[in-house]
Chain A
Amino acid sequence: MTKTRASGRTVGGLRTLSLQAPAVTLLLLWMIVPLGMTLWFSFQYYNLLMPGMTGFAGLENYEYLLTDPALWKSMGNTLLLVGWVLAITVVGGTLLAVLFQQDFAGRGIARVLAISPFFVMPTVSALVWKNMMMHPSNGVLAWLAESFGLPAVDWFSSLPLTSIVIIVAWQWLPFALLILLTAMQSLDEDQVEAARMDGAGPVAIFFFITLPHLRRAISVVVMIEMIFLLTIFAEIFVTTSGGPGLATTNLAYLIYIRALLDFDVGTASAGGVIAIILANIVAIFLVRMVAKNLED
C-alpha cells in the first residue's frame, strides 16, 4: 500500500515536472541571464565608445551614478510621476466605479467608453494628447481656454511633468475603474439596503461600506500600477525626450540615455540595478498579497 502510493506520487511528480519544465526553464533563463549580466556589468568599466577601457570597476559606476545630480532629479521625477498618477487614478477610479455602478440609461455603453483609453497604445495616447489636445495654438485645450477668455497654456514647455502626469493618468484611470468596478459587483446589496433603512446617507454608505469592501481591490490597483508606472518610457520618449533639460526624465529614461545614447553600459547597468531594487520593494508586498489570496 505504502509502496504503490509512493510510486504513484513519483509518477505524478514526473508528469508535473515534464509539463511545467518548458515554461519554468525559459522563465528562469529570462530572469537569471539578463539579471546576472546587469549585475556583472554594473561592476565593470564598459563603455561601447571606449573599447580599450575594461575591467573591474568596483563600486565606481554606483559612485558615479549616485553623485550624479541627474540621478536624483530623475528619481524625484519618478516619485512625482508615480505619486500623482496613483492619487488621480485611485481617487478618480473609486469615484467613477461608484458612479458607473448606479443604474442609468445607456450605462453599458458609457462604461465601455470610459474604459477605452486603457486599450490605446502608449505612443498613440501620448501623441494625440501632445498634438491635438495640448498644442499651445491649435490644440483643443487652447481653443477651450480662449473661448473662456483665458490665456492658452503651453503645456509641454511650462508644465512638462504635469503634462506627462495627465497623459499617463488618462491611460491608467480606466484600469483602476475596470478593476474597482469588478470588485464592486461582489458588494452585498442587502447590506447597503439595510444601512439605508437605518438612515445612513450616501456619504456614510460610501465611507463605511463601499470603501472597506474595495480595500483589497484598491491595494491591488496601487501595487500593479506602481510596478508599471515606475518604468514609464514610451510616453516620455515620444513627447519630451526627457526635457526640457531633465524636467521629465525619470529613472527608466535616464537609464535609456546612459545605455543607448551615451553607450555607457556600466553606469546604465548600475541604474538598472537600482530600478530593480525599487520595483522589488513594491513586488514583495504584491506577491505576499496574491499568496494570501491563493490560500482562500
Chain B
Amino acid sequence: MTILRSATTAPRSVTGLRSAQSKRAMITVLGWSVALVIFFPIFWMILTGFKTESAAIADPTLIFSPTLESYQAVQARSGYTRFALNSVAVAFGSTFFALLLAIPAAYSMAFLPTKRTKGTLLWMLSTKMLPPVGVLVPIYLIFRDVGLLDTRTGLIIIYTLMNLPIVVWMLYTFFKDMPKDILEAGRMDGASTFQEVFFLLLPLTLPGIASTGLLSIILSWNEAFWSLNLTSSKAAPLTAYIASFSSPEGLFWAKLSAASTMAIAPILILGWMTQKQMVRGLTFGAVK
C-alpha cells in the first residue's frame, strides 16, 4: 500500500508529498474529533456508572476511583433483572413471531411472484407509515377491555405487527438476491415447498435472516412509545424502567448511568455488528 502510494506521488514534488501527508493527518484528527464528540455522551454515561453518587455530580473529571456500588444498588433496589427479562422476552418473542409470519410471505413474494406482489409489498410498507399516536386511543381501550394492558403478550403482539412490514421487506430483498437455479434444481429433484424452504432457502439465506432478526430485536428493544403507554410495572421493559428515573428531582446520576449502560450495551454491540445490513431494512431496499 505504502509502495503504491509513493509510486503514484513520486512524479510530484517533495512539498506535494508533504502536503498530501499533512492533509491526511488533518483528516485523521478531524474524523476522530467528530467521532469522539458524537460518542461523548455515551462514554460519559458509561464512566458515570462507575462513580459514587457524589462523584457523579462533582466537576467533570476523568480521575476517580471506580466502584460497582451503583450497579449493585440498581439491582438490589429496583430489581433490574425483572425489567431486563421483560425486554428480552418482548424483543425475542416479537422477533420470533415476525419471522414466522414473514418467511413464508417473503418466500412466495420472491419466488412465486404474481401481478399483485408489488402492490402487496407497497401496501405493507404503507402500514408502517401509520403514526402510532393516531391509533393510541383504540389500542389502549382494546387492551384495557381484553386485559392486555401491562402484559408481555400485549407488547409482543404490538411489536410483531409493528416490525412485520420491515421484516418482510428485508427478507424479500435477501431472498431476491439468491440465485433461483438452486431452488429450481431442488424442485427438479422432487423437493416439496416445505423441503425447499427448510433445506435449501433457510440455510442459504441464514446470514440475511439473522440480520433481519437482529434489526427486529433492536427496534423492539428500543421502542418507547407503546412500552411507555401500555405498561406500568409488571411487564415494563427497560425503556419504561429507565423513564422512571425522570420522575424525582433527586439526582441519581450514577444509578441512572449504571442502569442505562446495562440497558444499551447488548443492543450497541448488535448494532455495530449489523450496521451494513440494517440499511436495507431501514430504507426498504431503496439504498443498498
- A interface vs B, CB < 8 Å? 12-13, 15-16, 19-20, 22-24, 26-27, 30-31, 33-35, 37-38, 41, 96, 99-100, 102-107, 109-133, 135, 138, 140, 143, 170, 173-175, 178-179, 182-183, 186, 216-217, 220, 224, 227, 230-231, 233-234, 237-239, 251-252, 255-256, 259-260, 265, 268-269, 272-273, 275-276, 278-280, 282-283, 286-287, 289-291, 293-294
Contact = CB atoms under 8 A, between A and B. Distances in A.
Nearest to A239: B246
Contacts of A128: 41-42, 44-45, 256-257, 260
A234 B239 contact: yes
Given A123-B243, A131-B253, A260-B140, A26 B101 contact: yes
Nearest to B264: A120
B88 interface: no
B110 to A, nearest CB: 11
Contacts of B260: 124, 127-128
Contacts of B44: 128, 132-133, 140
A179 B277 CA distance: 11
B238 interface: yes
A287 B165 contact: no
Nearest to A20: B105
B209 to A, nearest CB: 15
Contacts of B73: none
Contacts of A126: 246
B245 A127 contact: yes
Given A23-B105, A116-B42, 8 more contacts: A15-B108, A16-B108, A34-B142, A135-B251, A217-B287, A239-B246, A256-B133, A269-B138
B273 to A, nearest CB: 10
Nearest to A36: B138
Contact of B161 (A27, A122, A280): A27
A234 B276 CA distance: 27
B139 interface: yes
B27 interface: yes
B116 to A, nearest CB: 8
A106 B112 contact: no
B140 A173 contact: no
Nearest to A232: B225
A41 to B, nearest CB: 6
A290 B134 CA distance: 24
Contacts of B107: 19
A175 B282 contact: yes
B156 interface: no
A121 B221 contact: yes
Contacts, number: 308
B86 to A, nearest CB: 13
A15 B112 CA distance: 8
Interface residues of B, number: 98
Nearest to A173: B38
The 5 A-B pairs with the shortest beta carbon distances in the complex, nearest first, are A119-B271, A283-B129, A37-B138, A234-B224, A34-B135
26 contacts: A15-B193, A26-B160, A33-B142, A34-B135, A41-B138, A102-B27, A104-B27, A104-B28, A110-B32, A110-B34, A110-B35, A114-B35, A115-B272, A123-B246, A124-B264, A128-B257, A132-B253, A132-B257, A135-B251, A220-B286, A237-B228, A237-B246, A238-B243, A272-B133, A283-B129, A287-B125
Main secondary structure of the interface of A (DSSP, over half): helix
B39 A27 contact: no
B103 to A, nearest CB: 9
A27 B124 contact: yes
B263 interface: yes
Interface in B100-152: 101-102, 104-105, 107-109, 112, 114, 117-118, 120-122, 124-142
Nearest to B124: A27
A290 B107 CA distance: 20
A268 B137 contact: yes
B31 interface: yes
Given A131-B253, A138-B57, A286-B129, A104 B24 contact: yes
Nearest to A17: B108
Contacts of B242: 121, 123-124, 127, 238
Given A112-B272, A113-B35, A272 B45 contact: no
Contact of A182 (B42, B243, B287): B287
Nearest to A180: B287
Given A27-B164, A99-B31, A182 B279 contact: yes
B191 interface: no
Nearest to A267: B137
Contacts of B231: none
Interface in B27-82: 27-28, 30-32, 34-36, 38-42, 44-45, 48, 56-60
Contact of A287 (B101, B126, B263, B285): B126
B156 to A, nearest CB: 13
